[in-house]
Structure 1
Amino acid sequence: MSHLFPTYGRWEVEPESAKGSYIKAVDGKNYLDFTSGIGVCNLGHCHPEVEDAVLKQMKKYWHVSNLFPQSIQEQAAKQLAVASGLDLVFFANSGAEANEAAIKLARKATNRSKIISFTNSFHGRTFGSMAATGQDKIKQGFGPMLETFVHLPFNDSAALLAEIDDQTAAIVLEIVQGEGGINVVEAEFIATIKKACEEKGALLIVDEIQTGIGRTGKPFAFQHYPIVPDIITVAKGLGSGFPIGAVVGSGKLKDAFGPGSHGSTFGGNPVALSAALATMKIVFSETFLNEAVNTGQYLFTQLEAKLGHLEIVKDIRGLGLMIGIEISGQVAEVLGELRLNEFLALPAGKNVIRLLPPLNVEKNEVDKAVELLLKSLSNVPSAAV
C-alpha cells in the first residue's frame, strides 16, 4: 500500500540515477530524457558546475530566514534583473507561488481586481493561479473559483479589445502555452496587448515559468517580441532541479511590495539560490544560447523531415527547444510506446507530444530522439507512412 495521495498518474519508470540527457532506471534501462523534469533541468541532470556550487553553499549554511540580509539573494536578483531588463525580484519556491505573488502585486499596485488570461493557459494549482488558468480540468471539484478572472481566446485581438477596461489590473500571458498544447503567441496579438495595456493602465504579466531561462533560445521568451512586461514570473529551469521561483518586476512597483506585504519562509533559500546562480551563469551566456538556438533549429528540421509525412502527425510547432508534435490520436498511447523504446517525452493536452530536452543536448542525442519518435509513431495503430 502506498501512503502517498494518488495525485499523480505515475509512469512505470523509477529512476536510480541521472546524468546529462539520460535517466538510468532501477531495472537497468537507460532512458533518453526529453522531459528535463518538465522543463526544469535545462542543463541536463546533475550538471557538475551546479553541483559544485550547491555543495560549496551547503558547507556554509542552509537556511537562516529572510530576517537576515544575504548577499547571494542580491547576486541572483541582479542576474535576473540584468537578463530581463527589469528591476526588482521577489524569491519564492515554485512557479505557482511566483504567479500567486504576481497576481497580488498587480492588484495592489493598480488598486484594481480584474485579471485577464487565456483559454488553454496554465499558471498553477493554488487558488489564485488556478483561477488564472484557462483549463476547466484543473478546476473540477474545487467549487467556485476566485472572482474577477476572465478567460479569453488565445491570439484573439478582437476579444481582448472588447474585454479590457479601466478596471483591469493585469493581463497574464504565456508566450508559448506549455501545458495547453505548445501554442505560440502571434506578433499581432502581442502588439494589441501592449497597446491596450498602455491605454487602459493595466499591467502585463508574462508567465515565463516554462519558457524562461533559455528554453526558447533567449533568456526569456518575451524577448522574441518588442515588449517589456511589467512583471515576469520564473521557476522551473532557474534552479536546475532545486525548488525556486521568482517574480521579476518593474521598479515602479516597488512601493506596492513593501515590508509585510508578502513573504515566504523558504523563498530565497541560499542552497536553491546557489544552484540558480550557477545555472544563470551558464545559460545566459551568448555562446550557450546561440548553440541552443542552433540545436533547436536542427531538431525542428529533423522532426519535419522524418515525421512530417506520417499521417498521424498533424502539426509540428514551437519555439527554441520547446516543441510540440500534434497527432490525430491520444497522446498517452504514443508516450507509452516511447517509454517502451526508452525515450521520455511529455503530453501537452490530449493530442500533443511535448519535447523539452536539455538546452545542451548533443546532436547525436537529437538524432536518436527523432529515430525513436519515428519508430514509436509508426508502431501506433493510427500511424501510416
Structure 2
Amino acid sequence: MTHLFPTYARYDVEIKDAKGAVAVDQNGKEYLDFISGIAVCNLGHCDEDVKKAVKQQLDKVWHVSNLFQSSIQEETARLLTENSSGDAVFFCNSGAEANEAAIKLARKHTGKSKILTFRQSFHGRTFATMSATGQSKIHDGFGPLLPSFEYLPYNDSEALEQIAGDDYAAIMLEVIQGEGGVVPAEQTFMNAVKKACTRLGALLIIDEVQTGIGRTGKPFAYQHYGADPDIITSAKGLANGFPAGAMIGKKELVSSFQPGSHGTTFGGNPLAMAAAKATLEKIFDPAFLEDVNRKAEKMTDLLKNVLSGAEEVEDIRGKGFMIGIQLKQEAAPLIAELRLNGLLALPAGPTVIRLLPPLTVTDEEMSAAADIIGKSLRETAGSLS
C-alpha cells in the first residue's frame, strides 16, 4: 500500500544520506551518484556554501510573496543576466513553469500563435509544455494537445528551410536533447535555426533546464554555438536542489510582461533564491568552469578507454558533464547492474545511458565510475547481445 500516485517507476533504493558525489541508501550501501538529482545537484549533495546561505536566510524570512520588493531576487537575476544574453528574469519553481512562461511571453510579445519545436524534445509535463514536447509517449492518454505546436526533425536544416508563414511566434529547442538521448545540436543546424527565426520573424527560445548552470562547461550550453537566444529557460541546477526555475529574456520583451500578465506564488521564494545565489556565485566563476571542462574531458577519455572495443557500445557523446553512452540494445539491464555495483546512472530513451555527475566530482571518483561501467558492461554483455 502507498499513499502516493504511482507516477514514477522508482528504484528499490531510498537515499538516506549524501555528500558530494556519494549517496548512501537505507541499508548503508554507498553509491557514486552520477544522476545528481537529474542534473540538479551540480555542486554535489549538501554543498557547504549553499547550506550556509539557506540557513542564514532561514533565520530571516521564508516567504512574503511577490507583492514586495526582493533584493535577493535582484542579486540572483543579475548573476543570470551577466552570464547570458538576457536582460531580465522571471523566477518560478521548475523547468516546466519556466517553459510555460517562455511560451506565454513569445506569444504575447509577437501576437502570433505557432511555435516550432523538434521531435524527441522534452520541455515539461504541463499541458503547454507537454504539447511542446516532440515525444508521443509524453502525449498518450491526455486527449487533444494544444494545436499551436509543430514538430520538425532535430538536426535537419533542410526541414527548417521548408517552413514558411507569418504566424510563427518562436522556435524552441534544447541545444542538447536530454530525455531524447543526449543528442547535441550540429553547428550547421543552429545556424539554420538562426536564419529561420529571422526569416519567420520568430523569437528563439532555448530550453536550458538540463543543459544550463555549468553542466556543459559554460554557464549555458547555447554559448558553445555562438547563438543569441531571445529567451532562455533554466531550472534543475539553478539552486542545487531547492525548487527554482527562471525565464531569462531580452530587454525588448520586458514591456510584454507587465503587472497582471503572469505570476507565481512561490517563484523567487527567499530560501530558493539564497540557494540559487550561492550556487551561481560558485559555478559561474571562470576558474570553476575551467576545471569542469578539464574533468569532463578526462571523464570522456576514461570512458572511451574502458569501453574501447565493446561491441555493445555504438557511441559516446555529449558536452561537458552531460554524457550519453549509446548502446545497441536496451540500456535498462546495464543501468541495473551499475546500481548493483555502486554507480547511479539513468537512461535517456531506451538505449542510452546518461551520466550527469556533480560538477565537483573528483578525478578519483571519475576513475572509479569508469571502472564500474567497464565491469558492469562485461557482466551484462551476454544479456545485452
**What is the TM-score with the length of structure 1 in the denominator?**
0.99
Query: What whole-Å deviation, never above 9, does each CA across 1:45-92 have from its counterpart, x for those lacking one?
Result: 000000000000000000000000010011011110101131010000
Q: Which residue of 2 aligns with 1:292?
A: 292
CA contact (8 A) 1:99 1:233 kept: yes
Q: Which residue of 2 aligns with 1:186?
A: 186
CA distance in 1, matches of 2:383, 2:197: 45
Q: Which residue of 2 aligns with 1:208?
A: 208
Aligned pairs for 1:102-117 within 5 A:
102-117=102-117
Query: What whole-Å deviation, never above 9, does each CA across 1:9-31 have from its counterpart, x for those lacking one?
Result: 00011111100001111101001
Deviation at 1:169, TM superposition (A): 0.5
Q: Which residue of 1 aligns with 2:28?
A: 28
Q: Tell me: CA distance 1:164–1:359, structure 2 relative to 1, closer, same or farther (3 Å).
A: farther
Matched, 1:275 2:270: no
Q: Which residue of 1 aligns with 2:19?
A: 19
Q: Which residue of 2 aligns with 1:329?
A: 329
Matched, 1:342 2:360: no
Structure 1: which 5+ runs fail to align? none
CA contact (8 A) 2:85 2:229 kept: no
Aligned residue identity for 1:108: K
CA contact (8 A) 1:102 1:247 kept: yes
Which stretch has the larger CA shift, 303-312 or 24-33?
303-312
Matched, 1:72 2:78: no
The number of aligned residues is 385
Which stretch has the larger CA shift, 300-309 or 232-241?
300-309
CA contact (8 A) 1:314 1:326 kept: yes
Say which SS state the counterpart of residue 380 (structure 1) adopts. helix
Q: Tell me: CA distance 1:158–1:76, structure 2 relative to 1, closer, same or farther (3 Å).
A: same
CA distance in 2, matches of 1:165, 1:192: 16
Aligned residue identity for 2:200: K
CA distance in 2, matches of 1:269, 1:196: 37
Matched, 1:56 2:39: no
Q: Which residue of 1 aligns with 2:358?
A: 358
CA contact (8 A) 1:122 1:177 kept: yes
CA distance in 1, matches of 2:125, 2:51: 30
Which stretch has the larger CA shift, 335-344 or 163-172?
163-172
CA distance in 2, matches of 1:165, 1:316: 38
Q: Which residue of 2 aligns with 1:197?
A: 197
CA distance in 1, matches of 2:205, 2:195: 14
CA distance in 1, matches of 2:164, 2:264: 32
Q: Which residue of 1 aligns with 2:372?
A: 372
Deviation at 1:342, TM superposition (A): 1.1
CA distance in 2, matches of 1:274, 1:67: 19
CA distance in 2, matches of 1:349, 1:134: 13
CA distance in 2, matches of 1:120, 1:191: 20
Say which SS state the counterpart of residue 162 (structure 2) adopts. helix
Deviation at 1:383, TM superposition (A): 7.0
CA distance in 2, matches of 1:165, 1:357: 43
Query: What whole-Å deviation, never above 9, does each CA across 1:183-241 have from its counterpart, x for those lacking one?
Result: 00000011111122122210000000000000000000000112210000000000100
Deviation at 1:165, TM superposition (A): 2.7
CA distance in 2, matches of 1:193, 1:42: 29
CA contact (8 A) 1:377 1:383 kept: no
Matched, 1:152 2:152: yes
Which stretch has the larger CA shift, 375-384 or 11-20?
375-384
Aligned residue identity for 1:319: K
Aligned residue identity for 1:339: R
CA contact (8 A) 1:208 1:232 kept: yes
CA distance in 2, matches of 1:121, 1:214: 21
Q: Which residue of 1 aligns with 2:46?
A: 46
Aligned residue identity for 1:98: A
**What is the TM-score with the length of structure 2 in the denominator?**
0.99
CA distance in 2, matches of 1:253, 1:84: 15
Matched, 1:123 2:136: no
CA distance in 1, matches of 2:260, 2:254: 13
Identity of aligned residues (%): 56
CA distance in 2, matches of 1:23, 1:304: 26
CA distance in 1, matches of 2:119, 2:384: 32
Deviation at 1:328, TM superposition (A): 1.3
Q: Which residue of 2 aligns with 1:247?
A: 247
Q: Tell me: CA distance 1:371–1:113, structure 2 relative to 1, closer, same or farther (3 Å).
A: same
User: Runs (4+) of structure 1 moved beyond 4 Å?
Assistant: none
CA distance in 2, matches of 1:94, 1:134: 19
CA contact (8 A) 2:217 2:290 kept: yes
Aligned residue identity for 1:183: V
Aligned pairs for 1:210-249 within 5 A:
210-249=210-249
Query: What whole-Å deviation, never above 9, does each CA across 1:30-53 have from its counterpart, x for those lacking one?
Result: 010000000000000000000000
CA distance in 2, matches of 1:156, 1:337: 36
Deviation at 1:382, TM superposition (A): 3.7
